[in-house]
Every structure is written in C-alpha cells, then in structure tokens.
Structure 1
Amino acid sequence: MKRKPHLFGIRHHGPGSAALLKGALDVLDPACVLIEGSPEGDALIRHAALPGMKPPLAMLFYAADEAANAVFAPFAEFSPEWVAMQWALAHGRPVRFIDWPAAVSLALGKAAREDDMQPKNAEDEEGTQTTIPAPSRLDPLDLLAEAAGYGDGETFWNGLIEQGGGGQSPLEIFAAIEAAMTEARQHQADAGGMSESEQLREERREAFMRGHIRDALKQHDGEVAVVVGAWHVGGLRAETTVAEDRSIVKDLPKIKVEATWAPWSDGRLSYASGYGAGVISPGWYRHLWSLYSGAGQQGPEAFAALWQARTAALLRQEGFSASTASAIEAARLALGLASMRDLSVPGLAEMRDATLSALCHGDAAQLALVERKLYIGNRIGEIDDSVPQMPLARDFELWCRRARIKPEEADSQIKLDLRSDAGLLKSTFLHRLNLIDIHWGRLIDAEAARGTYREIWNLSWSPEMSVGLAEALVWGLTIEQAAAVATIERGRNANGIAQLSQLVHGALVADLPEAASTCIDFLQAAAVQTNDITDLMKAVVPLVRIVRYGTARKLPEPELRALIVALSSEINAGVRIGSRQLDDDATAARVIAMRAYDEALGVLRDAALLDEWRRQLALMVDDAHVVAPVVGLSLRRLHDLGLWSEQQVSAAFSRQIVGETPARAGGFVEAFIAGSAEVLIQDETLLFLIDEWLCGLDEEVFVESLPLFRRALAGFDSIGRKRVMERIAGGRRQASAARIDETEDNPAFERALPLLRQILGMDA
C-alpha cells in the first residue's frame, strides 16, 4: 500500500493549532518533520533551541546583491511552525522547510515590481481599453463558519481550534480540519474565487512541497509529519506525478539569497500591521499559549485571574483605581460569561466584557488606553549570542549594549546631555545610524536653549532595520566604517554644496573626522565653481551651527571657520547682483535662505562679515533691479537691527510702494511683514507704517492690493489678527513718563552691563 504523509493543517501563529500540533507529534512520533517555509532557512533551524532565542523572531531572506529585495518569515512562541521546530530538535528528528525557495519568490517579486504591477487590459470589440477586475478571493473559513452557524471565519476558527487547543484528540481534529478545508477549497475553486496569477502561484508552491514530501517518504521508513497552512492540505493530497510537478516549476527564475535571524515584534505579528498572516491579538494568543503549554497556569480560573490582574496593573499605570478586588470580580464574571456561552475557557470577548464592566465601570475610554499593550503586546524578540549574524547586525547589538539603548516597539523619547560620556555615546550611535539610512532615532531638538549640550530624540524601532543593516554592508562591516564610507560616497556624488554642507555636519556630529575632512575638501572644491548664492547660504548655516554649538565634540574649528569666512565672503560679494531677475521659485528659496543666513551670521559674530552683509542689505533696498521680496526682507532686517531710523525706513518703504505695480508692491510687503503677529503688535513703528500705507491707497489700488496683503497675513492665526486690529484701533502709544533717566547714575546697572551685552551678543 502506498505510504502517505500525515498532513497537519494549521493556522499560522495560532496557539490552539500549536497545542494540537504538539499533541499530534507526541502521539505520532514521526521520523521527520516537514514545515511550510523557504528551504534556505534549513540552516537556521538548529538555532531555534538555543536558550537565548526569545520570540517573536523572524527568518530574514534577502537577495545577496540587493538587500532591499527581502522577505521575513516571522515566528512567535505560539506559532505551530516554531513548536514543530522545537519538538523535532528536542527529539533529535530531522526537520526542514518544503515551500518554494526564497530564491524563486524574491526573483518573481522583483520581476513583478519591474513590470510596475500594472493591471492587464483587454481590448473590446470597439477598440477601447477595458480593465479586467481581479476576482475577489473568498475566505474558505467564512464558508465553513456560515455552515456551522458562526458570524465569520475568525470567530469560527477561534472557537473551534484556538480556544479549544487543550484536551482534544489532536489526530482526529486534524483529520476534520483536512476534510473541511478540502471541501471549502473545492467550493472556492468552483466559484472562481482566485485570479489566474494567484492560482498559478499556489500550484507552484504546492508542487515544490509535494516534491519534498516524496523525497522524505523515500528517505525515512517511519511516519512523515507535514506542517502547513490548512489551506494547502487539499492541494498536497492531490494525485499528481513527478513529471507534472516538475513541469510546473520548470525554468522559474532564481537569485542568490542570504538568510539570517532577525528580531520581530508583537506589533508586526498583528493583522493591523498589514501582515497578511497576522492575528488580531498577539497578546491574547500568548496568554492562551501559556494555558496550553502549562506555563504556571492550572485551569480556567487561574487563566482568567492572571489576565484580569495584568489588565488591572496596566490600568493603574494609567492612573485609574483598578483594585485587586475588582480584578477578582472581573475574572469571575469572565468565567460566568464563558459558562453561559458554553465555552471551556473565557475567550477574548468574554475577558473584554468582564474588564469593561468590573474594572472600567462601563467606561470604554479607560480600556482603550491599555488595549495596545494588553491585546497587541510590546515584546521584541532576542537572538542568542552564539547565532552567527551579519557583521553590521552584530555590531549594532554591541552598540546597543554599550550605549544602553534597548529596542522598543512603542515610540519613546530620550534627552541627551552631550557633556556626559553616556549621552555623547548615544548621540554618536544614533547619528551614525542615520548616515546609513537606519532611522531608529529622529532628532527633534538639538538647539533647545541654543542647545549647546543637549539633544532630544524620538526613537521608533522596526524589524525593517534588519534589512537596512543588510543593505549597508556594501559600505562596511561595522557601524562606524559603514557610516564613514557612506558619507564620503554621498559627498562624492552630491548635487550642490548645500548637500555637502549637511554631510559635513552629519559626519562631525557622528564623530567621523576623516569623513568630515574629506567632505570639507569636496565642499571647498564645489564652492569655487558654483555661482548659486542660495546654495552657498544654505551651506553656511549648518557649518555655523557646528562651530557655535558643537563644542561637546572635537571639531576642526580653524578649518571650519576659514571655510565659513570664504563662503560668506563669496555670498556678500554676489548677493546683490545675484538677486536680480529671479523667477518666483528662485525668489522664494532666496528669501528663506537669506533669513537663515542672516541669523547664522549673527550667531557667528564675525564683525567684518556682519558689517559687509548689512551694507549689502542697504544696497539691495536702493537697487531697483533686485526682486521685491528680497528688498522687503532687507529693509525689515535693517529696521529690526536698528540700523536705519524710522524716517529712513518710512522713506524706503514709500519708494517701494508708490508707483509700483500691485504685484511688486505686494511681494515687497509680504516679505517685509512676514513673521510673528506678536512682533508686529509690539513694534509700533512697523505696525503704523503699514497702517498708514494702507490708509493712503485709493480704492482701485486697494482692491488690487488686498489679495496680496491677505496672503502676507496668512501666517498669522485668528487671535493674532484680532490683536493686530485691536492694537491699531488703540492708536499710537504716548511715550512713557516713567522712562529711566539715562543721565542718572546707576552703579549696579553699569557693573552688569558688560555681561548683559555678552549675553545678548552685542559685545562685538
């Protein structure tokens, strides 16, 4: 009689399926175990039994020549595939994967992306193009649920398998699953529930699986256990020949693939993350698995009590009064609801209803605050130290330990004091990761209180960082080496000196002096050849920030200052001529760059550069060929700095308005008044200068100018606009009679004046 394998149809990441599978393997005691999965992962299976392997984990398969072309195969401790590996390793039985190779899957995926995944069109009889809609895939579990009287397939499977995983006859249950899923699959095929491409994909995968099963039956005399998704059982039972299976997988493309273990997370196991095989509540499934695996729980009472105690603890962390007595009451209520609904143990619905009633007193908002931690979970897997990993992944783990930063799925914020070794180490690590496009941390504040020694980072870990580390291998084998080489490579291919300036900044804050020096050389060479004033301004700003506030790190300050002076001298010499005949986009970019550059020069406090810059501002105000927004910004800066008197500002303002077209006048005014409404309110000269201009317009010019003026005030919020109107209505203030007599001697003020000037940056 022909031998047949034992097919165990499971649900990926189902604790009930895992419990049934463990029981079935104990009863069957197979000679080998085959698991749905890419064969490239066979070499990784032996690591699963190591004590330091703590799920959730994933096998990462990536193209050797293109790490971004990658796929993950995740496992939780309650995943049947993980349980099958553990059982086989514990019993010394051969175990391997039998799905189609990742080499094929990734090659086909790459080809599909290159084809842009465009929908296929068919030409109708009239010659017009008509898109053929893909058939919607029916869920076979929904068909079974309907026949069994359940509302949906998820509820059906949970009630039958996942929450009934203990105490059942596992072999009989799997036989029933096989019969039901085979029938449902046939019903779906008859209904045309799969597209041709989906159908071909499934046929190819199952052809590979059948080939591996045939090989195992030849190699082993004992029973062969096959662990696959329940959907595939019917396909694997199909009677096909070796030739037929080989023909359907013949000539499939392949690429070279690397495989490694990578940490995974509860959030990425959830269906809400977009993971196709995800589950609704990983946290709940882990709790179920603790019941089935006997991890310290004895019966439904302890099961319910532990869940409600965990819920109460999370609620107390959020500031709610969730007492132990209320947790006990919630556990009893959950058990009562389970009994009423004919369940052996309370399900998630019963637990939630009991929590809402006894612990949250009917307030769903309280429960919503802890649902993420409770139902999804926040666990991130760990890999045993003895497992070989990519060099960058290993160095990443070493950095995490040195810097004492632990990956967490939930977003978090850290504040670093760069004067401490610990803070500087964390900052260096995060900056280097950003240079190799691993954006674990995003810098949100590096200049609070002009942040000389302070950084604030938002941290957000994701499993895809493993792919990023694989991609970065082209630059080096350590984080430091990869960051340095990546920075130099980008500097060599940079478009514009502004980008080079940012690279210099990035290299210096990441403590990569050689890379910074190389990028400075690139920047100097590029600055000689450029005539783009806007780009030069953008380049100066980050360099000034480094020199002025980067004193927590060792910097080549003389070289940087020399570079800043050279760039700034070039800007000052060419800004007036370079601000003529600009188009709208170039003008907008110039105004933004001028504001940042003007502020940077004030921070740098180089007297010669400042004097020349301010002289150029005055020249641009009187240059009729300079574009209006640049003139408006120049005049505003002269006013703000107190370099021109009220009469000079008023006269220049009138010259730019009287006789000009509404478009030019509007552009000038918009740049002149841009900023905070509070500044306009407090600056009486500025406010009434604009008020007098508006009041002096005739009706026709006023109507033409109104849209432009409204656009100029668009940055003010409604409260700010209201306060501006109230201030205008109040009229000009009279000079205060309580002014300090400037001739009165005040020794204390005189002694404090030098320090005050230094603080305000006026000592230059």
Structure 2
Amino acid sequence: MSVTVLGIRHHGPGSARAVEAALAELDPDLVLVEGPAEGDAALAHTGSLTPPVALTVYARDEPRDAAFWPFAEFSPEWRALLHGAATGVPVRFIDLPFGLSLALRRQEQAEAAARAVDADAEAGGPDGAGSRSADPPGASSPGDAAGGDGAGGAGGEGEPAHLVEDDPLGWLARAAGHDDPERFWEDLVEHRRLARAGPGEPGRDGALELFAAVANAMTELRDEAGPGDRVSPTRVEHRRREEMREAHMRLEIRRAGSGADAAARIAVVCGAWHVPALTGAVGRMSATADQRTLRGVRAVRTDTTWVPWTHARLAAESGYGAGVASPGWYHHLWTSRDQATTRWVTRVAGLLRAADLPASSASVIETVRLAEALAAVRERAVPGLTELNDAVLAGLCGGDPVPLAVVREQLVVGRVLGAVGEDVPTVPLAADLARLQRRLRLRPGADDQKIRLDLRKDVDRERGQLLRRLRLLDVPWGTPAATSGTGTFAEAWTLRWEPEFSVAVVAAARYGSTVADAATAVITERTEAAADLPAVTALLEAAVLAGLPTAMAVVAAGLERRAAGTGDVAHLMAALAPLARIHRYGDVRATDTTGVAALAESLMVRICAGLPPACVSLDDDAADAMAAAIDSADGAFRLIADPEHVERWHVAVRAAADIHGGNSLVNGRCTRILSDAGDIDQAEVALRLDRALSAAGVAPADAARWLEGFLGSTGSVLARDPRMLGLVDAWLASLTADAFTVVLAPLRRVFAAFTAPERRMIAERAGSGLPRPAGGGTGPTTPTGGPAAGGPGGPGGPAAGGPAAWDADRVALVLPVVASLLTIPGLERTATHE
C-alpha cells in the first residue's frame, strides 16, 4: 500500500492547483479527503453543484445543531472531489463524524452546566459570583466544523498566536523572517504557481516536491513545539477533539489499505497541520491506541445535505476558522491563470464605472504598470493584492479610500452565491420552498435585492405572503422596508439569502411539509403559548398578512377567550391596534375581516368603559405605559373611523383628562388627543395648559410631566400658536434655579423629539418676542410648588408680566453659539430678550 499525504491550505488556489497536478501524476486508486465521514453519501451529487457550496451535517433530533464544510471552486478539497468524479476514482471523507463531535460537545456542555450549578451553590445561588451558563445547543459555527487546521488556518493580518497549533503559518513566517503570514504563504505557494506557469506549461512541475516541503515544515513545527505546547493546557476539550480527529483519520487510512478491496495507491488530501500525524507507518500511534481514543462517546444520529454558500462566508472576518482574508481575490487567481493583474484592474475599473466614478483606459494601464513596479520594488514575483490595492488607490481612486472599500466588499471578498441541483436530497419543506421560489420568480441571492409589490396583483400578493410565512419560520429572507406614498396596496422588501437559512428550513420541517402548513402550525403553537392579549392580536395580524385562513380562525378563537378574561384596559388598548389595521387594510389582501370587526367592536366598548378608572392612582412607570397605550388606542379608533365609537372614545378620554389628582403625564396626553380631534377649542387648551403649569400647589416636576404628555413627540402646537408658547416661556422664566434643575431632564427629552424645523420655528418665535399671560398667572415657584422669593408673587420680585432682569452683556456672549445651533440669522445681533 502506497499512501501519499498532500498537506494543503484550506481554500488556497495555489494548493488547489498543486492538488490537481499531484493527483494527475499519482493516478491513485482511492482519494481520501478531510471531511466528515457522514458526507460520503452526499458525494454522488458533486456533479450537480455550483460552488461555493457547503456540505451540511445536522442532528436529526435538533436540526439547528449543524455544522458546515464549505467548498469553493478554488478549494483543494473540491478539486479532489472533481478529480474523483471525472476519473471514476472513489473518493471518501475520513475526518471524525460530526455525530461524534456533536456528542462530545453536548457532553462537554452538560459537564460545564453541572460545574456552573456547583459554583452557584457554593456562591449562594444563581446570582452568585460563580454563576455561568454553558453554550446553547446548536451554537456551532462553520469554523467549528472545519477548524482552522490547515496551513494558515488562523493566519491573518495580526501577530501570530503564541501557540504553534493556533497559527502554524505565523510561526513559519516568523522563522522565515516575514511579519505577514498571509503574504508569506501567497509568495510561497499561491503566486509561485502562477509565476512558474508559462505558455504551454500547465504548471504541474514540482507539485509533489511542494507538498513534501510543506510536510517537512509542519513536522519540524510539531516536533519543535512538543505535545505539551501544541495546545493550551486550558483547552482540554480542543486537545481531545483534535486527538480524536487524527485517530479517526489514521483508522480510515488503515481500513482503505486492508481487506479484499484494498487500494494500492492512496492519496490523502488534508490540512497541512495533520500531515505529520498521518505519515510514516500511518502515523506514530497504533491502531489499538487510536481505537481507544475514540471510545466512550456515542455518536448522535445525523443527516447530510448540500446548501448554497457565499464567498463572504468563506472570509476569515465572518468568523469561519479556516477562512481566508480575500476569497474573491483567490477566486480571481483561480479563474485568471494568465494576465491576472490586468484582468483584476479591468474588473475594478468596471466596478467604479458602474458606480459613476471615473476610470479611464489610460488610468487602467497606468495602474497595471504601477502594480507591477511595486511588485518589483518589493521583490515579489507577481503583484499581490497589497500591490494592487496600493496601485488602485493611487491610479483609479485618486487617493480616496472610500471607493476602495466598495472594491473590497464586491471584488476582494465577493458576493458569489453557489447553487445545488434538484437531485440533492432535502426535506419536503425545502422542496416546497424551492418550488414556490421558481413559480413566483423569487431567486435567492447573496446581494441585497429591493423589490416593490403591488398587493392588487395576485403574484405580488403571493410573494409577500411567502416572505411573511418564512419570517414566521425564522427564515428572514425578506425584510420589510418603508414605502413612499399614502396607498395601502404597496409593500417594499429587501431580500438577502444567507446560507444558514437552509438549515433553518430543515429545522422548521417538523412543523409541516409545505411553507403554508408549517407557518400555520407555528402560529397555532405560539397562540397557545402567548402570555397576554397583545401577543395574540399580533399573531392574528401576522396570520392575516401571511394569508393563513386556518391560522386566523385558531388565533381569533384564542383572542376571544383571552379578551373575555382580561380586565387590564392597557392590554385591551394594545390589542386593538392590530385589529384596526386588519379591519382597515384587510380588503387589499382579499381577506375576510368580518370576525375581526366584531372582535374590535367588543374591545372598543370595553376600553371606553374602563379607561377613566384605569387612569387613577398611577405611578410614573405605569403612567408611561398607559400614555403609550392611549396613543395606540387613539390611532386604532381613528383608523376604524366609526363615528359612534369615536365619540364614545372622546368622552372617555375627556373623563381621563379631568381626573383630579391623576397622573400629570396621562392628563396632558388626553388633553392633546382632545385638542387634535377638535373636541376642545384652543382657548380651552390654553386654559388647561395655564392651569397645569401655574395652579397653586402644582410642583414643577408635575407641570413638566403634564407638558411632556401634552407635547409628546411633536412641537407643532408650540410652533404654530404663540399663545401656547408664551405660556410655556413665562412658566420657564419664572422657575427658580432649583426648580429649573428638576424640570430640565423631562423637558430636554421632550424637545429632543421635535423635528429640526419645529425647533427652529420655536426659537424664532422666542427671539421675536412672545405674549405674556395677563395677570399673575405664572410666577416663580419653589420645587414644592410655592411662590419663590424674587419672582412675581414672591417677596422682592418684579410685577407679574414685567420685564425680566437680564444681563445684556452676558446674554451677548452666548447668542452667537445659540444662533449657530439653531441656524437663526440675525440672532447673534440681538442683545436683549423681549
């Protein structure tokens, strides 16, 4: 048996070319690839895949417990799979089964949870210092599965890690006198293959020698580090998992070379770090020792499939342990085997032109020359990405790094999304989703795709329903976006497909075999588990928007039961808003809203009867919640627009506004609702405002809360009515320093919510002079509400309504700053306050 181990760097185009050349030279009988052993069954579908794709293995009992093994067109492992498919040579995965890795992780999590419980007990409870939480099941990331075990698995742009196994590339680079591991490997492998390949030369020369050199380097690293230094002593779980992986790979190699169907020539493609553990009498460990290493863990049952992947998820910055810094650049190196520099700069110029940025042909030529000159100065065989970025920044971007950031996102990293064939096995729910995507012409993509739907059209309505059903299944392929205009028939969405959505679809398959059935089951389950009435009405709205009539009936029944047993008026008001939207806009979606209208009418009657008593004896937190609920209910009443119910609502709101000793915030909010509805005129509004601010015994804090409730988030009342603004201005001017400190925070909160034009109009009115209230209505007060010395109504103060004693010189110092902040022309020339 002849075994040749090819140590590669995951997702390296130079390694991929070397693997192609080595396999062509070796002509093996069997190819073994580092990958989960469960993936062998999925290899039959290699021919129907368009990379980037990922082999996905997930637990049958919890599909969200999944791991991914990504493959790009330039991945060495992918070239090995294609070699087997093209030549008929068998290919097998030999890495540790994910079922064993998952079982080991669950065991570690259980042990960690037990330790946390013990620590909590010692610390005196779950809030003690020893409280910790284990990672949740299903927290695996793509990097957990593939691991950064190849040459440069964790390599990158920073300082090499302290431990050899954490960053073998970093250690090799430092030993060779390089401070950048990524650039060191590119010069050594990726660009070296390009430099040696000339016209008529396939670039195969030296492939096996290259792998031999990599094996020698990794052997020296592992021998020099020693078994105690290869991993941190605190990372016992990681050490155990790595030992199990290498033991399993050795056992698989032995099995491939023994028995009746033993292979004579075996090629093994794996991460370079593992080469020393697999070479020389199939590693240093005996078969008995390897079997002993794998004992004691019972594998979790798993299933396997292929899912589309993206270049962005291959990037190291995405958190993928075996990721590369620039997958889009590596894809370019793979596809552009000649004139890579010229082709790259041409692509950059095309991207800049598409963004309406200048990129002339002359600039392209000069940029290519500059990149080649930089490579020569830096003693590189061919320009690398660093040289190209520097040349593009100078030659095409004019020194502006902003366009270069766009180049990085779209070209250096890339936005390519792979595809899988229809013959790839999957769950019925995923098959139904694929059928709907084809029928509705919604194609998944890695880029943001903005669409606008006209709900009057059947196909657009079905598209919106599909996107909403998927969101119910925790597959947020589409994100609702704001639409311009006042029509109710339009929806805007932003679509972006993420690879994890494929696993989420598999996880949702337990709810049903079609998207509609699964979404209905989810709403039914959530209805039964809903804690309050607003949650149920939100589910009813979701069912209507998603076009799920069966779910609507279930939620409506649950809503009736909960509404009958709910006496909390705030909950009833919060629940009314979704019903109002359904009642008003359901016709656009051809939805029968008869039952919803009856429910809404029942809630409106109960709300009007219960609002005044519910507004009595509220503390500040309860008042905040009540004011928000009243706002929501007011919008719902106006949306339904039934005159009888609206009149009844205004009667209830007036009663709440007139509660003596009620919370000031709620009283102010109710007054504003009555004012906006025209139920009370401006004179009465001014009277109520003056009473709330200046009545005897009113504390400044209560006055500020009333004003906060009255103004809400809009300053239009103060901006358009000088009388109202004058009352507020006089009240503020009358406050003592201590009282002003008390009201400052709520007033800042209120005025910060105003729009810039509203603040500007208020400032302009204040600067041009405001009417003062007649008589002694508003005077300085103490924080407890009494008259203050030195103010109107207090000893030693000026007459009510008289001019305030301003220091003109001090005012002149701050006016330029105020004028700049409020953008009021001429204010800086004003030195007195009217």
TM-score in terms of structure 2 length: 0.81
Find the counterpart in structure 2 of residue 217 from structure 1: 257
Q: 1:130 to 1:483 in 2, by over 3 A?
A: closer
Equivalent residue pairs, number: 715
Q: Which residue of structure 1 lines up, in the alignment, with residue 89 of structure 2?
A: 93
State the distance in 2 between where 1:68 and 1:722 align.
53
Cα distance in structure 1, aligned partners of 2:349 and 2:476? 35
**Cα-to-partner distance string for 1:366-410 (whole Å, 9 max, x where unaligned):** 322322111011110011122222222222222222222222223
Q: Deviations over 1:504-555 (max 9, x none)?
A: 1111111111111211111111100011212211111122112212322121
- Indicate if the aligned counterparts of 2:722 and 2:765 stay in contact, CA closer than 8 A: no
**Could you tell me how far 1:341 is from its partner in structure 2?**
4.8
**Counterpart amino acid of 2:635?**
E
Which residue is 1:724 aligned to? 762
Q: Tell me how far 1:337 sits from its aligned partner.
A: 4.2
Residues 571-607 of structure 1: CA distance to partner in whole angstroms, max 9, x if unpaired?
A: 1111111122234333212211211210221121111
Counterpart of 2:272?
230
Listed as ranges, the matches of 1:73-472 within 5 Å are: 73-114=69-110, 136-138=162-164, 139-165=167-193, 166-189=203-226, 192-196=229-233, 197=236, 198-218=238-258, 219-237=261-279, 238-292=283-337, 299=338, 302-339=339-376, 341=378, 343-445=380-482, 448-472=484-508
Conserved 8 A contact 2:30-2:265: yes
Shift of 1:40: 0.9
Stretch moving more, 574-583 or 254-263: 574-583
Alignment match of 2:11 (pick from 10, 13, 16): 13
The equivalent of 2:581 in structure 1 is 545
Q: Which residue of 2 aligns with 1:27?
A: 25
Which of 647, 654, 662 aligns to 1:626? It is: 662
CA distance in 1, matches of 2:252, 2:758: 73
Q: Counterparts of 2:114 and 2:177 in 1: how far apart (Å)?
A: 40
Offset of residue 649 of structure 1: 2.7
Offset of residue 151 of structure 1: 2.1
User: Is this contact kept in 2: 1:621–1:652, CA < 8 A?
Assistant: no
Alpha-carbon offset, residue 475 of structure 1: 0.7
Task: Give the match for residue 69 of structure 1.
Answer: 65
CA RMSD in angstroms comes to 2.8
Counterpart secondary structure, 2:627 = helix
Question: After alignment, is 334-343 or 568-577 more displaced?
Answer: 334-343
Cα 1:684–1:113 change in 2 (3 A) is: farther
Q: Report the Cα distance in structure 2 between the residues aligned to 1:543 and 1:456, rounded to whole angstroms.
A: 22
1:28 positional shift: 0.6
Cα distance in 2 for residues equivalent to 1:325 and 1:711: 56
d(CA) in 2 for partners of 1:269 and 1:276?
Answer: 9
1:479 alignment partner in structure 2: 515
Against the structure 1 CA distance between its residues 185 and 663, is the aligned structure 2 distance closer, same or farther, given a 3 Å change threshold?
same
Please list the CA deviations of residues 283-318 of structure 1 after superposition, one character each: whole Å capped at 9, or x if unmatched.
1111111245xxxxxx3xx33222221111111011
Counterpart CA distance in 2 for 1:620 and 1:98 is 74
CA shift in 2, pair 1:648/1:349, >3 Å: closer
The answer as to 2:636 corresponding to 1:596 is: no
Deviation at 1:92, TM superposition (A): 1.1
CA apart distance, 1:731 = 4.1
- Partner in structure 2 of residue 676 of structure 1: 714
Between stretches 177-186 and 110-119, larger displacement belongs to 110-119
Alignment TM-score, normalising by the size of structure 1: 0.88
Query: What amino acid is aligned across from residue 152 of structure 1 in structure 2?
Result: D
> Deviation at 1:663?
3.8
**Residue of structure 2 equivalent to 1:43:** 41
Alpha-carbon distance change, 341 to 578 in structure 1, aligned in 2, over 3 angstroms: same
Counting aligned pairs with the same residue, the percent is: 38
Contact 1:576 1:626 in 2 (8 A): no
Q: 1:130 to 1:163 in 2, by over 3 A?
A: farther
Distance 2:464 2:130 in 1: 56
- What SS is found at the alignment partner of 1:97? strand
* Higher mean C-alpha displacement, 228-237 vs 585-594: 585-594
Partner of 2:200: none
Cα distance in structure 1, aligned partners of 2:636 and 2:55: 49
| Kept in 1: contact 2:481–2:494 (CA 8 A) | yes
1:154, CA displacement in angstroms? 1.5
User: Structure 2: where are the runs of 5+ without partners?
Assistant: 124-128, 132-160, 194-202, 773-834
Output one character per residue of 1:307-336: Cα deviation in whole Å (capped at 9) or x when no partner: 221111111011122123432343344344
Opposite residue 414 of structure 1, the aligned amino acid is I
TM superposition shift of 1:192: 2.1
**Structure 1: tracts of 5 or more residues without a match:** 293-298, 735-764
Pair 1:57-2:39 in alignment: no
Q: Do the aligned partners of residues 341 and 705 (structure 1) sit closer, same or farther apart at CA in structure 2, a change above 3 Å counting?
A: closer
Whether the 8 Å CA contact 2:30–2:263 is kept in 1: the answer is no
Determine helix, strand or coil for the equivalent of 1:9. strand
Tell me: CA distance 1:150–1:630, structure 2 relative to 1, closer, same or farther (3 Å).
Answer: same
Q: Provide the secondary structure at the position in 2 that maps to 1:68.
A: coil
Structure 2 residue matching 1:443: 3-state secondary structure: strand
Distance 1:100 1:574 in 2: 65
In structure 1, distance between residues paired with 2:517 and 2:590: 19
> What per-residue deviation string (whole Å, max 9, x for no partner) do you get for residues 632-681 of structure 1?
10111112222123343344334444223344333222111222234420
What amino acid maps onto 2:74 in structure 1? Answer: F
Q: Look up the match of 1:295.
A: none
- Separation (CA, whole Å) in 2 of partners of 1:55 and 1:498: 46
* Structure 1 stretch displaced more, 279-288 or 183-192: 183-192
Specify whether residues 704 and 381 from structure 1 end up closer, same or farther in structure 2 by C-alpha distance, changes over 3 A only. closer
**Per-residue deviation, residues 476-503 of structure 1 (Å, max 9, x unmatched):** 1111111111111111211111111111
- Distance of 1:470 and 1:385 partners within structure 2: 16
Task: Tell me which residue corresponds to 1:757.
Answer: none
**8 Å contact 2:637–2:646 — kept in the other structure?**
yes
For 1:601 and 1:357, the matched residues in 2 are separated by 61
Q: Which moved more, 1:410-419 or 1:382-391?
A: 410-419
Partner of 1:616: 652
Task: Give the secondary-structure state (helix, strand or coil) at the position aligned to 1:30.
Answer: coil
What's the offset of the Cα at 1:193? Answer: 4.6
**Distance in 2 (alpha carbons) for counterparts of 1:612 and 1:130:** 57
Cα distance, 1:425 vs. partner? 2.4
Q: Aligned AA for 1:232?
A: H
